[in-house]
Structure formats: structure tokens, C-alpha cells
Structure 1
Amino acid sequence: MKQLNTLVAGLLAGTLALAQAPGAVGPLTVLVGGPPGTPGDTVARALSEPLAAELGRPVVVENRPGAAGTIAIAAVSRAPRDGSTLGVFALQAAAAPSLLKSVGYDTAALQPVRQLSQVSNVLVVRHDHPARTLAEVLEGARAGALTYASGGNGTPAHLAAELFRQRAGVALRHVPFNGPVAGLAALAGGHVDLMFATVPAALPLLRAGKVRALATTASQRLPQLPEVPTLAESGMAEASLRDWHGLVAPMGTPAAEVEHLAAAVGRALARPAVRERLVAAGLEPVADSGPVPFRRFVDAEMLRWSEVIRQAGITAQ
């Protein structure tokens, strides 16, 4: 009887420990604030299967685009605090509180999990533009004759160009379009002079010879564009911008669950097949991250872009 009682007690203890173990049950939903094919969606989908294998539970990617990515993030802030819902938090969502009158959530209601990736921008000009170097672009901008495209007010392309304009002290005229693809199409068609586009979006047009790259915002030359110098090489390191992507959970999600998810994502992200897929898409995986460093990073980015937006008087329209 004593042995039976000991066995029953052990089974009960094991059952309780399993019930309290992080990530034990249910599917994980990852909300993306952009449409399919955008960088945040690309990284979420590249991770979904390996992350499911790491967690031993299904991972479902759901797109909820709109309002500078805030629709998806607002849904995350209201989700159950049990590790069943995460959201892809990116530069545009970090800038949104400085652009919009209301974003539908308080960033204090979000728990950073870890950074996933970053993506550099490339300064591209129309294929027949006379400028062949960054210096020649600046010369043209000082004459006040250059226009630049973006995917809309407050989008990363707009913020990158505005940061560049502020740091260079030149005049550029903003021509917003309905999304980055439309902006690049206008550039390829010769309707505007230049654009700061993400590398994945620009590569097809670059390879087709419809636009020309002059500089990237990467910290070093990119393997996809080894002949293109960085802004830092061109003497404008302070104007560099890279879009980025990370995961957030609802605030109040147990710390053990957040750490468990962060570790599982890190292992999935380290898989060679995942890294190769992201690099091929023009994304740069972030190997070293976690809840604390990602929170510091997000706080610094929100402060940085709030100042750029304030100085430029940018509002989302």
C-alpha cells in the first residue's frame, strides 16, 4: 500500500509538472500586420514548420494587414496570455504611435519575445537617371529637382528617405503610392527619380535592369549586391536604416512561456534551411536575441523614429 501511495503521488506530481510546463498544448497563432509576400510574412512562414517541430504544436500564420501593422498588433495585445498568440512586430509598428492619433493598443501591453530578422534598404534610381553615385544624387537633390517614391506615408521607405534627407541636409519631394510595389513600378516607369526600397522588393527590378542601385543601408556589402557600396562607405552612416522583425506576446504571458518560445524560435531560426531561405529572400536572420535585448532594441527604435517623424511633421494619411 505504501508503494502504491508513493506511485500515485509520483504520477500526480508528474501530471502537475506537465500541466505547468510551458508550451504544452494548443496551436500557436502568429499574426502578421502585412499581406502575404511582405518581409514580415516571409520570415513568419519560413519559421512556421521548423518552429512547430521545435514546440511540438501546430503554428498557424495569419495575415491581418492594415493601419501600419497596428491591426494585427492590437489583436495580439488583447489575446489570451497563455502563449497561444504572437505577433510580428516591425519598424512600421514601432513608428505607428508617432504617426497615428490612436493605434488601438498601448505598447506597454506587449511583451517582446525576440528579434527574428532585419532587412536592408537599397537606394535605387530609375534606369535612365544620370546619377551614378550617391554624391551625384546629393548634387541633384541640392538643386531641388529630385522626387522619391514610397509605399505611403510613414512606411519604411518613407522613413528611410526622410532620415536620408535630414542627415544630408537636402531637399527631396515625396511622392507616396499605395504600397511599395506600386512605388517601385512608378520608379521603373520613370515617373519618379529614386526610392529606398527593401532589398527583396528591389532585386527583381535590379536584375531586369529596370532600376539601378547606388547604395545600401546595410552595415556591410550584401552578398546579393556585392558591387553596391553601403551608405557608410559613402560617408553617410548616420542615415542608415534597416527594417526589422520580431515577435511579441500579450503582456502578462508567463515569463517561463516567453523564454520557452524565444528559445524555440532561436533554434528554428538557426536551422541551415531556414537561414538559407531567409538569405535568399534578402532577409538577414538575427541569431542573438531574447526578451530583454529585444525590448531594449524596440524602445530605442521607437525613440529614434519619433524624433525623425516629429522633425519632418509626418502623419499617416
Structure 2
Amino acid sequence: MNRITLSMLATTLALCAATGQAIAQGKYPERPITLIVPSAPGGTTDFTARLVTEQLTASLGQPVVVENKAGAAGNIGNQTVARAKPDGYTLLVAYSGYQVGNPHLFKKAGWDPIKDFAPVAMMTRAPQVVVTRVGLPFNTLQDLVAYAKANPGKLNYASSGNGSIQHIAGEMLQQQTGTTLTHVPYKGAGPAVQDLLGGNVDLFITTPASVVSQIKAGKLRALAVTSEARLTSLPDVPTVAEAGVPQFKLDSWFALYAPAGTPADVVQALNQAVNKALQLPDVKKRAEDSGTTTEVMTPAQLGSFTKKELDFWGQVITKANITLD
């Protein structure tokens, strides 16, 4: 009898300890969640983060806020999340140009895309749109190429920063058309668009969400989109194939990552909440209207995808001979 009593007592104590531990740990989430955007407000990364915050707040029961940490070609924002406590409260809305480009551009980026991050969910994809300021003496991509060949180095193009996908896109365009353009880097798409509108730069190859409203308002001129089909948000803008440069195809993607070591159940909860938000009709429409598309992936699928993209962009960057160190 005594043995049974002691056994029962030990079991009870163990259960109490486990319950106490569970209470101490609490149920995720218990406080606000911060989405770190490694670029300035106004670009597609920022748009993607804000696309789902309201829905995530409702789904998770805690405020989900966006914090922009621009600088060092995205490395500051990425480092912030890589070094954050892996508890699901500090997350990265990653831009592909940074996430799989920077590791090949910097010898010491301060973070590793595979070792330092836990993949959570894919969010959006976007082709690029070749857009110019109004007032230049051409209206088509072919005319731009002809003008650039006749005036080497006279046209300049903006990017979100050295080594960004816009920078790489400009280098690819030059390689494929035999032209010479001058690169002007900015800290994010927002500042680049402002200077394009102000006439300080001539050309920007960027995601549609950054410029679609200005294109529709006639403040900027779109020459082509780098997708196989025209965009519903810009139905009058030809594809690069239609514009005479069929090999110039590329897109960007935006995904959610947590610090490495974040508990699997927290990652899964976030993945389910993001995927649920991305499949809502109004969210999909807002994405489509901006020139992007939502895409659902499991954490495992995003992990595999990230590794493949890391290898692909490594080859592209090496061929373009772009380094930032």
C-alpha cells in the first residue's frame, strides 16, 4: 500500500511539475509579433509584410506589427532576426534578392540563409517591370536598347542597393542587349521610386507593387514585364518576349523566416496562419492588383526551395561578376 501511495505521489508531483512548466511557457503567442522588413517602406517586401498583418492579428490573437530595418543591402534586418531569440516573436519577411543573393555578394554578410533561419512560409512572387521616367525619347524596350547603344553610359538605372535583384537585373539587361548603363543604388525600392519620379534617375527594373500606381497614373512609363504572360494589373504592358528581349526573364519572391531553433509547433502555427491569410479572396486580389501573386508552401517546401534558389542565384551573380566586399 505504501509503495502504491508513494508511486501515486511521485506521478502526481511529476504531473504538477509538467503542468507548471506548461503554464510557465504559456501558449503561443502571448504578446505582439514583429515582422522585420530589411528595406525601407514603399517596396514590395514592405507591401508583402503589410498584406497579411491584419489577418494574422485576427488569426493569432495578438498584434502583428511591421518594423522596417533598412541598410547594408538588407543585412541589418537579416542580422536582427538571425540574432533574435528563437521564440516566434521576431520574424523576417525576406526578399529573395537579399536572402539568396547576399550570401554570394558578401564574404561576411553576418548571417547564413540556411543555418540561421527556420523557413516558415512562402508569401508572394512577383515578376519585374522595366519602368522609366516620363520624358525620355523612347516608349518601348527595343527603343530603349537602341538609345542605350547609341549613348553608352548616358542612361542610369536605379536599384534597391548594390547586389539587389534590381542591380543584377540591370547587369543582365546589359549583357543580353550589348548596352552600357550606369548603376545608381538606393536603400530600398521606395527611395529609388521617389528619385525616378523626380527625374534623378532614368530607369528602374523592379517588382510591380513598387510602381503600379504611378504607372496607372501616368507618372511613370512601363516598357515591359519580365514574365511569360502579361499581368492583369498592367494588361497594356507587353512581356519582354513581346518587347523583343525574350531571354530577359526573372522574378522575385518574398517569404517568412524565423530564427533558427524556433520550436516546430510555433513554426507550424505561423505557417498555418500565413497560408490561411494568403488564400483569402481579398488578400489574393490585393496581391494581384499590385502585380504579385500569393503562393502557399509548407516549411519543408520553403526550405528546399531556398536551397535551390541559393544555388541558382550564386551562378547568376558569379557570371555577372558582382561583389560587394
Distance (Å, rounded) in 1 between the aligned partners of 2:156 and 2:69? 28
The equivalent position to 1:242 in structure 2, one of 251, 260, 263, is 251
| Residue aligned with 2:211, SS | helix
CA change 1:56–1:207 in 2 (3 A) is: closer
Determine whether 1:225 maps to 2:234.
yes
Q: TM-score, normalised by structure 2?
A: 0.81
CA change 1:190–1:37 in 2 (3 A) is: closer
Equivalent residue, structure 1, for 2:286: 277
Distance (Å, rounded) in 2 between the aligned partners of 1:261 and 1:225? 32
Equivalent residue, structure 2, for 1:65: 70
Determine whether 1:112 maps to 2:119.
yes
Kindly provide the amino acid, as one letter, of the partner of residue 274 in structure 2: V
- Within 5 Å, which residues of 2 pair with 1:121-132? 121-132=128-139
1:123–1:197 contact (8 Å) kept in structure 2:
yes
Distance (Å, rounded) in 1 between the aligned partners of 2:198 and 2:267? 47
| Residue aligned with 1:215, SS | strand
CA change 1:188–1:109 in 2 (3 A) is: closer
Distance (Å, rounded) in 2 between the aligned partners of 1:280 and 1:12? 53
Determine whether 1:55 maps to 2:63.
no
| Residue aligned with 1:252, SS | coil
Equivalent residue, structure 2, for 1:32: 37
Q: How far did 1:269 drift?
A: 1.7
Distance (Å, rounded) in 2 between the aligned partners of 1:184 and 1:171? 23
Equivalent residue, structure 2, for 1:308: 316
1:22–1:257 contact (8 Å) kept in structure 2:
no
CA change 1:227–1:48 in 2 (3 A) is: same
Percent of aligned pairs with the same amino acid: 36
User: Mean Cα displacement is larger for which, 64-73 or 120-129?
Assistant: 120-129
Equivalent residue, structure 2, for 1:165: 174
CA change 1:66–1:183 in 2 (3 A) is: closer
Q: How far did 1:249 drift?
A: 0.8
User: Mean Cα displacement is larger for which, 221-230 or 22-31?
Assistant: 22-31
CA change 1:58–1:208 in 2 (3 A) is: closer
Q: How far did 1:144 drift?
A: 5.6
Q: TM-score, normalised by structure 1?
A: 0.83
Distance (Å, rounded) in 1 between the aligned partners of 2:129 and 2:311? 23
Q: How far did 1:215 drift?
A: 0.8
Distance (Å, rounded) in 2 between the aligned partners of 1:53 and 1:17? 27
Q: How far did 1:235 drift?
A: 5.7
Equivalent residue, structure 1, for 2:109: 103
Equivalent residue, structure 2, for 1:212: 221
Equivalent residue, structure 2, for 1:252: 261
Equivalent residue, structure 2, for 1:299: 307
Q: 1:224-280, CA deviations, whole angstroms, 9 ceiling, x for partnerless residues?
A: 210111124446454222222100011122223212211111001222232233333
- Within 5 Å, which residues of 2 pair with 1:5-16? none
Distance (Å, rounded) in 2 between the aligned partners of 1:176 and 1:193? 10
Kindly provide the amino acid, as one letter, of the partner of residue 268 in structure 2: E
Distance (Å, rounded) in 2 between the aligned partners of 1:138 and 1:28? 46
Aligned residues: 311
Structure 1 alignment gaps of length 5 or more: none
| Residue aligned with 1:315, SS | coil
